[in-house]
Structure formats: structure tokens, C-alpha cells
Amino acid sequence: MKALGRMVARALLVMVAGVLMVVGLVAWWLNRPLPLAQPHVELSIEPGTSPRDVAQAWVQAGVQADPRLLYEWFRWSGDARRIRAGSYEIDAETSPRRLLAKMVQGDEVLEVVRLIDGWTLRQFRQALAAAPSLKPVTREMSDAELMAALGAPGVPAEGRFFPDTYAYSRGVSDLTVLKRAHAAMERRLAEVWEQRAADLPLKSPQEALILASIVEKETGTAADRPLVAGVFTNRLRIGMPLQTDPTVIYGMGTAFDGNLRKRDLQTDTPYNTYLRAGLPPTPIAMPGLASLRAAVQPARTPALYFVARGDGSSAFSENLADHNRAVNQYQRQRSSK
């Protein structure tokens, strides 16, 4: 009996030692950097990808490990169902434990694309086309088709996207970024419209957006925005044409060569605010938040005119005679330089 007891004890010791060895090996593997085929390995995980397929995809991407081991680790950890879709990058210091943590935390590699205040939609779409790792889903869409895809059929596309810096996961579609920019503009426009001045000569948020786009293009110095908006609202109140060059330039489209000539001001288009009263039919650019606010809360000013001084700021005048003197003064300064 004693001999049997010793045998059982030894067997138990061997089993315990074996278990401890397995546990130690597992712990060692979980915390040991994964061997990679190259210094950095990237992977984009699509929504709905199973944990087993995620493990297999990492191996196909360049992780030199048995995909079954990776999958069993994902499953055994209890976090397999918490793996998030996204774009990930690992380096030679990444262990299986850190790999799973990255995917559970959504520690993605993100790219960014920037929408600049005052850009047209054409410029923004060009930036999207050049953005890295972005699927060009909308590249062949017209502006009207794009707005339909965004759930806003019949809405003019120009000006409907908020200028900002947008981060995105590698491999997502450009439509994803456009949706975010469109939703941001809708939200900002609604917010400022609720804060509009009581006597504003604008009938709708769309008109506020149009005016804001003009203010954006006409302002060289931030401090001038409310005054520029004040000039244009004064003109709207009395039925005076807005007479703003940026609208004419927008109406010329690709025909504009950088020089605005007298004949251009005399050529009728829906955007020629020298020949047509009121606001143009659509925005002419994408205004930033400061211009949106200026459009609905313009400065109370008697000015009806302004002219660029040449340093980014503008000189404001109440009547045409003073305006003409200011034009002559600043034109002479520019021509003497």
C-alpha cells in the first residue's frame, strides 16, 4: 500500500509538473513577440468577420504563427466576440496578448483627410480621390447621385459638407467620410439657425448657408466676417444687388482662368450677383463655423460697401462716394508695390 501511495504521489507530481509546464509555455507564448514576415504587418478587418477568420487573416498578412493557436487564444480569452472591425498595424514587439488587446480596444491605424474652409465640393472630392487607403465608391457618381446616396435626393450638393479634419479606418469607402461631413454640416447649420438674429433677412437655413459661403470667400481676416455679413444683409434688406466677385467666379466654373474681366461681370449666369438681385441659387463653397455664425448674427453696421486693403483686411464705407475713394486709395497702393 505504501508503494502504491508513493506511485500515486509521484504520478500526481508528474501531472502537476506537466500542467505547470503547459501553463508556463502558454504564458510564455502569449507574452512573446509574434514572428513577422516583415517589420510591420497591417490588416483590415471587415464587420462580421469571425474570430477564426481573423486569426487566419493575420497569418496570411504576415504573422508567422499557427492560426489555430491564435484562434484558440481568442476563444479561450473570452474576448473573441469583442474583436472590432477596423484597420490594425503590429510590429515586431507585438505579442498574442497585445494583438488581441489591440483589436478589442479598437486601437486602429487611422488616416486623415482635411476639408478646408472655403473649398468647393469639387476640391473636396479631389482630396478624397487622393486620400490614402480610401475606397473610391463615389468616384463615378455625379453630385446629384452623391446626394441621393447620402439620403438627401434633390438637395444641391455644394456647401453641404462641413470643413474639418476627418479620421477614417484604412479600407473604408469615401462615402463614409462624406456621410460624416454631411451630417456635421446639417448639425452645425441647425445649431446656428436656432441662434439667428430676429430681424435677419433670410428665410431658411439654406439661405443662411448660401450667405455664409459668400462671407467665407469674401473674408480675408477673421475679425471682418461679421462686418462683411452685415454689408450683405444690409443689401438684401434694401434690394441692392450683392455684387460679389466670388459668385461670378463660381458661375464661370472651369472657364475661370484666374482673371476676372469686365465682360465676365456682364455675362449673365444664375450666379452673377451684379446682374441678378438676391442670393445665388446655391452656396458657392463650404463655409466654416465662423462664417455660419456671421451669416446669422451679422454686425449691425451702416456700411453698404467694402474693399480689400491688400493685407487681408477690408475698408468699409456707408456710401458710394466714400467707397470709390477707398477703392482708389487701395488700388493705388497695390499698383505702386
Condensed to tens digits (0 to 9), the pLDDT of residues 64-117 reads: 999 999 999 999 999 999 999 888 888 889 999 999 999 999 888 888 999 999
Average pLDDT of the residues of the chain = 89
pLDDT for 89 equals: 87
Closest CA to 298 of 234, 216, 203: 234
Cell numbers found for residue 268: 449673365
What is the secondary structure of 124-155 as a DSSP string?
HHHHHHHSTT-B-TTTT--HHHHHHHTT-TTS
Query: Helix 67-77 crosses helix 51-61 at what angle (to 10 degrees)?
Result: 140
CA-CA distance, 139 to 34, in Å (whole number)? 39
Q: Supply the pTM of this predicted model.
A: 0.78
